[in-house]
Amino acid sequence: MTDIFRIIPITATTTPAVLDVLRSPDVPRSEEPFIADTLRRPLRDLRISVTDRCNLRCTYCMPREVFDKNHVFLPRAELLSFEEIERLARSFIGLGVQKIRLTGGEPLLRRNIEQLIAMLARLHTPAGKPLEITLTTNAVLLSQQAQSLKDAGLSRLSVSLDGLSDEIFRRMSDSEVPVKTVLDGIAAAQRVGFTPVKVNMVVKRGANDHEVIPMAEHFRNSGIVLRFIEYMDVGSTNGWRMDDVVTAREILEQLASHYPIRQIAPNYIGEVAERWRYIDGSGEIGVIASITQAFCHECTRARLSTDGKLYTCLFATNGLDLRAPLREGATIQTLTTLIADHWQQRNDRYSQLRQAATEPMITVTSSPKKIEMSYIGG
């Protein structure tokens, strides 16, 4: 078993040095611009939450006891319009962003979401490359919308699915939605040409960890890339405990006891999922070890909340308001400068510090209340 594992130690080292200034006029147009934070991490990915609402109440994201019928969601006037999102996206692209992921809540609840996708799909990087536009969904509404998403220019999509049996799925999602609805959505996405569709399973001990092998068996030979995610301490409402975490090593041990697998190279520098392939050629899986193998040193993601705040970490406590200057008429140049200044001060490495706190003789003070994942997207 030991030869299938490659555990990367977490150290203070970071990625190779990058330029930490905006592109100067004498840089050739063939090169992409980029800025760097205090740990020399460039800005490459932008996640945009288009709604704080969801049609499920997953226990690790939007527990019903908090997000109940009395919960006050953002009024429409506080949400960024599609035109405002596009305007901010142009600023981020000018600083090096090459991929945009639309999230929520549940992004398919945002009316006419395909119009936003079409607007973003028309954008290009300064070097002329098309932008990669992706979306994460629970797939409850995907069957009806898959074709329009594809036609609008969506590059690819990921689906959240935490179990195959109705009992487990309904328990994890705290809903009456049958798992068949999600599976039908995945099939519809494949049918209209999304490839590969990625399916993300959050694994929580004692809740759905017995579904790891059934999920693997179901998606083998399907063209779907199944990814297992360690249960994360996102936000302040999900009652996270380390005891609930099924580690990446445990997941891989389960899989390897049924199917021979081997690790393969990442698609790009900074990819969060370790990639594995079944030796018999029946497909690919991924493991996101966000708890036990923190990847802060390679994180290139910024997050834009539903109401226009910029967050530089999934575990952030506050963000930079971009909506106010945007609605006050700020130019693209002004917005770009605000974003650049904020990113260049970034020093977030929450997961590394949390991991260090589990080591003997190391103490990290508790952090203030973290922002909820349903507000800035996963």
- Sheet bearing 156-160, strands edge to edge: 261-264, 274-278, 284-288, 225-230, 198-203, 156-160, 132-137, 99-103, 45-49, 301-304, 309-311, 320-321
- Does residue 237 surpass a pLDDT of 80? no
Looking at residue 232, its pLDDT comes to 83
Q: What's the burial of 1, exposed, middle or buried (CB within 10 Å: 0-12/13-18/19+)?
A: exposed
For residue 148 the two structure tokens come to 């329009």
User: Does residue 299 contact residue 270 with C-beta atoms inside 8 Å?
Assistant: yes
- Does residue 145 surpass a pLDDT of 70? yes
User: Does residue 194 contact residue 153 with C-beta atoms inside 8 Å?
Assistant: no
Looking at residue 253, its pLDDT comes to 96
Range with lowest mean pLDDT among 36-40, 125-129, 138-142, 370-374: 370-374
Nearest-5° angle of CA 54, CA 59, CA 64?
65
- Rounded average pLDDT over 121-127: 95
Confidence of residue 291 (pLDDT cuts 50, 70, 90): confident
Rg of the chain over Cα atoms, rounded to whole angstroms, equals 20
Task: State the CB neighbour count (10 A cutoff) for residue 329.
Answer: 7
Whole-Å CA distances, 4 to 8, 213, 342, 346: 13, 18, 40, 35
Domain boundaries, given as residue ranges, for the chain: 2-9+36-376
- Does residue 9 surpass a pLDDT of 50? no
Confidence of residue 234 (pLDDT cuts 50, 70, 90): low
Looking at residue 20, its pLDDT comes to 37
- Rounded average pLDDT over 363-377: 53
Looking at residue 356, its pLDDT comes to 61
For residue range 146-164, list pLDDT tens digits in order. 999 999 999 999 999 999 9
Of the two residues 349 and 135, the one the predictor is more confident about is: 135
For residue range 178-199, list pLDDT tens digits in order. 999 999 999 999 999 999 999 9
Range with lowest mean pLDDT among 7-11, 54-58, 121-125, 372-376: 7-11
Pairing mode, strands 274-278 and 261-264: antiparallel
Task: List strand residue ranges (DSSP E) for 55-155, in order.
Answer: 99-103, 132-137
Task: List strand residue ranges (DSSP E) for the chain, in order.
Answer: 45-49, 99-103, 132-137, 156-160, 198-203, 225-230, 261-264, 274-278, 284-288, 301-304, 309-311, 320-321
Of the two residues 268 and 127, the one the predictor is more confident about is: 127
Q: Minimal CA–CA distance to 97: which of 116, 122, 119, 125?
A: 125
Confidence of residue 298 (pLDDT cuts 50, 70, 90): confident
Looking at residue 293, its pLDDT comes to 80
For residue 63 the two structure tokens come to 């527990």
- Rounded average pLDDT over 219-234: 92
How far apart CA 84 and CA 81 sit, in angstroms, is 5
Pick 2-9+36-376's CATH classification: 3.40.50.300, 3.40.1830.10, 3.40.50.10190, 3.20.20.70: 3.20.20.70
Looking at residue 164, its pLDDT comes to 97
Looking at residue 25, its pLDDT comes to 36
Of the two residues 113 and 351, the one the predictor is more confident about is: 113
Q: What is the mean pLDDT of the chain?
A: 86
3-class DSSP string for 167-210: HHHHHHHCCCCCHHHHHHHHHHHHHCCCCCCEEEEEEECCCCHH
Range with lowest mean pLDDT among 107-116, 256-265, 290-299, 342-351: 290-299
DSSP assigned state of 275 = E
Contacts of 21 (CB under 8 A, 6+ apart): 35
Range with lowest mean pLDDT among 85-99, 100-114, 311-325, 343-357: 343-357
DSSP assigned state of 130 = B
Confidence of residue 219 (pLDDT cuts 50, 70, 90): very high
How far apart CA 149 and CA 118 sit, in angstroms, is 9
- Rounded average pLDDT over 84-110: 97
Confidence of residue 334 (pLDDT cuts 50, 70, 90): very high
Looking at residue 146, its pLDDT comes to 98
Whose tokens are 């508790």? That residue is 366
